[in-house]
Amino acid sequence: MRTCLLTMIWACLSLYVNSTSISRKTVLEMGGEEDRDGAKGGKLLKRFKRGWMWNQFFLQEEYTGSDKQYIGKLQSDIDKGDGTLKYILTGDGAGDIFTIDENNGDLHANKRLDREEKAFYTLRATVVNKNTGLKLEPETEFIVKLHDINDNEPKFAKELYTASAPERSNIGTSVTQVTATDADDSMYGNSAKLRYSISQGHPYFSVDPNTGIIRTALGPGEMDREKREHYQVVIEAKDMAGQRGGLTGTTTVNITLTDVNDNPPRFSQSIYQFSVPESIKTGIPVGRINAVDKDLGKNAEMYYSVVSGDGLDMFDVITDKDSQEGIITVLKPLDYEKTRSYTLEIQVQNTQTLDTRFLGYLPTKDMATVRIGIEDVDEPPLFEKASYVMEVKEDAAMGTAVGSVRAMDPDGYNSPVRYSIDRRTDLDRLFNVHSGNGSIFIIRPLDREEAAWHNISVIATEFNKPLQTSWVPVYVRLLDVNDNAPKFASFYETFVCEKTKAGQKIQTVSAVDADDPVGGHKFFFSLAMEGAYRGNFTVKDNGDNTAGVLTRRSSYSQLHKSIYLVPVVITDGDFPMQSSTGTLTVRVCTCDREGNMELCNAEAQTSSAGLSTGALVAILLCVIILLMIIVLFAALKRQKKKEPLIISKEDVRDNVVSYNDEGGGEEDTQAFDIGALRNPEAIEESKQRRDIIPSGTLYPPIRRTAIPSRDNADVRDFINQRVQDNDSNPTAPPYDSLATYAYEGTGSVAESLSSLGSASSEGDQDYNYLSDWGPRFRKLADMYGAEDSDRES
């Protein structure tokens, strides 16, 4: 009731303040009547003061009334109430959210406003003359500010928080902090003043009402993770400083107690019993023992150790990192005939430091007894060593002993043993073993450069029990002997300039050796004793297993000799001494002033590729023969293409090309329809003949006079085009070619297209000039000349 009364008083005061305005008189700063009258001849000075000035109006947000909300009144001193003034409003929301009565200056809000969306609006007002529209006073700016109401509940940054706290924590230990915000105005009233409280999570946790910090509320004895690990706490945030009527927001905090190493491991049983055969291999598990720790993670990690017992040096225990179990393994081979059982005392403890505050007098470690029985087994032969390493020189003679192995029957029977080599490990059959005494010897020559080590396996088998076998690895190392001569490290080739200096280094060479001496390689380089090259080049040993090849004169000539082969003798420093000769290829080249190679002759270039003169000649002959075959094949193919379309046994004078059919002329209506010739689309473009390959010489086209036709113009143009194509064909033979198009006969008004039967001017042509073209053309001239004589006669 008290809250409602205060709210009503505040609203009344707000409305009273909003309706108040401050006004100022408009006055003339300078001059009276005399000044105004005398201003006609001078300058009239005036100064206007604003008739109003408002700082701000206040408006309550979230207005729920049905009418427009009244904000206040704008009043100018100029307004005399005669209706000649007009109030104009501009700025944020003017005309939409806010409206002003242009006659009396009443200001209203048209919409329901939310302060959280926009806290204030900046508006401007002025007064103008209704008739002229001129401003009568300067524009004034004012603010409409929204009063906040408590219409937003507090909201937390997260709907769900996750936190953790160590178990066994003291009272008041900070766990986490939650934060809520309120969209209401924190500067106005208590709408945004929050208070935190805990609604779920008692009595384990508490929350600070002002800061939202969550703390533990119980002592170490109650906050034990092994009893309860997870807690769900609900926190409330209430505005209005937590007073009645305020709005509330909630969030959930999931709190987990983290583990503390406050529990030692304990064995699940005090005595363990196992039995194993005596043939068990070292490192093989015998059994598993288990201890339990209530803690988690690293706090639950433990390790086991054998602390006493007669099997202290025979067995070991390791920890399985995944299951935290103790795995008992064999350290040494077991022998039933010597010892038939062992007893172990095994201890378990945490790897991490244990928190002893809550243990009291309880021990931090635990002990268990393990008894292991040994079972008798018929065992295979047992070698004295797990493996053997032997050495022998690579040049050792066949039959040389490399070493020996020895095995015996571990059982009480002491059965004899025979030896053999596992041939799967000695595929080249380089070694053999004496079946009785285990002596290994060489049966084939060895080479360290092929294989420096040989790994073989020797098998031991009991005579009385062939199934009882065992294997032992034998590693044979071959000792190096100097049996390989050194050689160049790579193929060396260089060049020398025609104009050079004596003593100029042209190449540095190095060597490699397949041998592996104990003190490392030591090579010596020298020039071969004999040969003409000694006057041209020399070799200088650098003393570091390299040598330089130097010139001995200052000029060389490609014309005199373009390639020099310089033999270099390489000698090693081991015993027995080995040597070889490597050849350095030196080309004589033309160089620029800086000594850079510019040009080498063909002989030098081919020699650099490593090809002899005979090989080059053979390659050249093969290329020539291949080119000849290609040319011959192309010629045959070309000749095959030049065959005429019509092959006749006799010498043909006309090349007759038949198209479709030939009948009794145009009068023969059954043979061909002359209408096809009248079709303009049937006219083809000029095409060159494909039955003869064009020659290199093109003859100029010979124009013929077209014979007027009495038929359709399309047919005449088509025939003339064909005549011109044949006359201008540069690939036609020297004699006429009779080309029949579609249909040609005695009744055709187009007459013959052949120059033999046409009225062409070529009928009177002199063919005697063909006699100068050779025998075949001479015969052609006789034929055509004879025909002309016959026609004239």
The model's pLDDT over 137-163, given as tens digits with 9 standing for 90+, comes to 888 888 888 777 777 889 898 989 999
What is the residue-wise DSSP string for 263-291? ---EES-SEEEEEEETTPPTT-EEEEEEE
| Maximum average pLDDT range among 265-269, 607-611, 710-714 | 265-269
d(Cα 242, Cα 135) in Å, to the nearest integer? Answer: 54
Q: Measured at the alpha carbon of residue 382, what is the angle toward residues 376 and 388, in degrees to the nearest 5? A: 155
Q: Give the position of tokens 């940054």.
A: 157
Which has the closest alpha carbon to 107: 13, 18, 10?
Answer: 18
pLDDT-derived band of residue 658, with 50, 70 and 90 as boundaries?
low
**Which of these CATH numbers, 2.60.120.260, 2.30.110.10, 2.60.40.60, 3.40.50.300, describes 382-479?**
2.60.40.60
Residue 716's pLDDT is 81
Q: Which residues pair with 142 in a beta bridge?
A: 123
Is the confidence at residue 697, as pLDDT, over 60? no
pLDDT-derived band of residue 46, with 50, 70 and 90 as boundaries?
very low
Which helix (H) or strand (E) segment is 237 a member of? strand 230-238
Is the confidence at residue 758, as pLDDT, over 80? no
Instruction: Please give the average per-residue pLDDT across 597-626, as a whole number.
Output: 70
Instruction: Please give the average per-residue pLDDT across 111-134, as a whole number.
Output: 83
pLDDT-derived band of residue 71, with 50, 70 and 90 as boundaries?
confident
Contact call for residues 497 and 590 (beta carbons, < 8 A): yes
d(Cα 400, Cα 441) in Å, to the nearest integer? Answer: 5
Give phi and psi for 121, each to the nearest 5.
-130, 135
Residue 715's pLDDT is 78
* pLDDT, greater one: 498 or 244: 498
| 549 CB-near residues (< 8 Å, 6+ apart) | 494, 505, 506, 507, 508, 509, 537, 538, 539, 540, 566, 568, 584, 586
Residue 662's pLDDT is 52
CB atoms within 10 A of CB 367: 13
Burial of 273 (0-12, 13-18, 19+ CB in 10 A): exposed
Which helix (H) or strand (E) segment is 2 a member of? helix 2-18
Quote the tokens at residue 547.
Answer: 């040598």
* pLDDT, greater one: 558 or 778: 558
What is the residue type of 143?
Answer: I
* pLDDT, greater one: 166 or 1: 166
Q: What is the CA radius of gyration of the chain?
A: 61
Buried-state track 316-335, b at ≥16 Cβ within 10 A, e below 16:
bbebeeeebbbbbbbeeebb
pLDDT-derived band of residue 751, with 50, 70 and 90 as boundaries?
low
Instruction: Name the CATH superfamily, with its identifier, for domain 155-258.
Output: Cadherins (2.60.40.60)
Quote the tokens at residue 511.
Answer: 């060597």
Q: What is the DSSP letter of 241?
A: G
Instruction: Please give the average per-residue pLDDT across 785-791, as a whole number.
Output: 50
**Helices (H), strands (E): how many in the chain?**
6, 42
Buried-state track 35-73, b at ≥16 Cβ within 10 A, e below 16:
eeeeeeeeeeeeeeeebbebeebbbbbeeeeeeebebbb
Residue 244's pLDDT is 81
Number of residues in the chain: 793
Residue 149's pLDDT is 75
Residue 612's pLDDT is 56
Q: Among 191-205, 459-473, 643-657, where is mean pLDDT lowest?
A: 643-657
pLDDT-derived band of residue 37, with 50, 70 and 90 as boundaries?
very low
Buried-state track 342-357, b at ≥16 Cβ within 10 A, e below 16:
bebebbbbbeeebeee
N- to C-terminal Cα distance for the chain?
Answer: 154
| 7 CB-near residues (< 8 Å, 6+ apart) | none
**Strand-by-strand arrangement of the 140-147 sheet:** 56-60, 140-147, 120-129, 85-91
d(Cα 458, Cα 474) in Å, to the nearest integer? Answer: 7
Instruction: Please give the average per-residue pLDDT across 620-636, as a whole number.
Output: 91
Is the confidence at residue 303, as pLDDT, over 70? yes
d(Cα 105, Cα 57) in Å, to the nearest integer? Answer: 14
Task: Give the distance from CA 595 to its chain's centroid.
Answer: 47
| 3-state secondary structure labels for all residues of 392-453 | EECCCCCCCEEEECCEECCCCCCCCEEEEECHHHCCCCCEEECCCCCEEEECCCCCCCCCCE
Peptide bond into 576 cis (omega under 30): yes
Residue 736's pLDDT is 53
Q: Among 152-156, 334-338, 691-695, 763-767, where is mean pLDDT lowest?
A: 691-695
d(Cα 407, Cα 382) in Å, to the nearest integer? Answer: 5
| Maximum average pLDDT range among 12-16, 149-153, 444-448 | 444-448
Which has the closest alpha carbon to 587: 572, 571, 609, 554?
Answer: 609
Is the confidence at residue 761, as pLDDT, over 80? no
Q: What is the DSSP letter of 499?
A: B
pLDDT-derived band of residue 528, with 50, 70 and 90 as boundaries?
confident
Residue 347's pLDDT is 95
What is the residue type of 760?
Answer: S
- For 254-297, how does the pLDDT look when each residue is reduced to its tens digit (9 = 90+)? 999 988 888 899 999 999 999 999 889 999 999 999 999 988 88
- For 186-244, how does the pLDDT look when each residue is reduced to its tens digit (9 = 90+)? 777 777 789 999 999 889 999 999 999 999 998 888 888 888 989 999 999 998 887 88
Q: What is the longest distance spanned by two Cα atoms in the chain?
A: 158
* pLDDT, greater one: 16 or 662: 662
Q: Is the dihedral of CA 420, 425, 427, 429 positive or negative?
A: negative
Tell me what the pLDDT averaged over the chain comes to: 78
Residue 401's pLDDT is 93
Instruction: Please give the average per-residue pLDDT across 586-602, as a whole number.
Output: 83
What is the residue-wise DSSP string for 120-131? EEEEEEEEEETT
Instruction: Please give the average per-residue pLDDT across 290-305, as a whole number.
Output: 91
Residue 344's pLDDT is 95
Residue 378's pLDDT is 81
Instruction: Please give the average per-residue pLDDT across 322-328, as a whole number.
Output: 93
pLDDT-derived band of residue 706, with 50, 70 and 90 as boundaries?
very low
pLDDT-derived band of residue 730, with 50, 70 and 90 as boundaries?
low
d(Cα 569, Cα 526) in Å, to the nearest integer? Answer: 5
d(Cα 223, Cα 229) in Å, to the nearest integer? Answer: 9
Burial of 688 (0-12, 13-18, 19+ CB in 10 A): exposed
**Strand-by-strand arrangement of the 98-100 sheet:** 69-73, 106-109, 98-100
d(Cα 672, Cα 662) in Å, to the nearest integer? Answer: 8
d(Cα 548, Cα 526) in Å, to the nearest integer? Answer: 10
Is the confidence at residue 684, as pLDDT, over 70? no
Instruction: Indicate the CATH number for domain 266-375.
Output: 2.60.40.60
Quote the tokens at residue 695.
Answer: 């020659």
CATH 2.60.40.60 at 487-599, yes or no: yes
Is the confidence at residue 97, as pLDDT, over 50? yes
Residue 732's pLDDT is 56
> What are the DSSP E strand ranges found in 563-651?
563-572, 579-591, 597-600
Is the confidence at residue 343, as pLDDT, over 90? yes
Which has the closest alpha carbon to 51: 30, 83, 25?
Answer: 25
Proportion of the chain above pLDDT 90, given as a percent = 33
Is the confidence at residue 126, as pLDDT, over 80? yes
Contact call for residues 514 and 449 (beta carbons, < 8 A): yes
Instruction: Please give the average per-residue pLDDT across 305-321, as a whole number.
Output: 93
Q: Is the dihedral of CA 255, 259, 263, 265 positive or negative?
A: positive
| Maximum average pLDDT range among 516-520, 562-566, 700-704 | 562-566
CB atoms within 10 A of CB 763: 14
Contact call for residues 297 and 341 (beta carbons, < 8 A): no
Contact call for residues 614 and 519 (beta carbons, < 8 A): no
* pLDDT, greater one: 724 or 170: 170
d(Cα 90, Cα 122) in Å, to the nearest integer? Answer: 9
d(Cα 738, Cα 735) in Å, to the nearest integer? Answer: 10
Residue 712's pLDDT is 64
Residue 766's pLDDT is 67
Instruction: Please give the average per-residue pLDDT across 306-311, as a whole number.
Output: 92
pTM higher than 0.75: no
Q: What ranges do the domains of the chain cover?
A: 56-147, 155-258, 266-375, 382-479, 487-599
Proportion of the chain above pLDDT 70, given as a percent = 74
pLDDT-derived band of residue 514, with 50, 70 and 90 as boundaries?
confident
56-147 fold:
Immunoglobulin-like (2.60.40)
- For 53-62, how does the pLDDT look when each residue is reduced to its tens digit (9 = 90+)? 456 777 777 7
Quote the tokens at residue 731.
Answer: 């690939």
Burial of 604 (0-12, 13-18, 19+ CB in 10 A): buried
Contact call for residues 652 and 733 (beta carbons, < 8 A): no
Instruction: Please give the average per-residue pLDDT across 710-716, as a whole number.
Output: 67
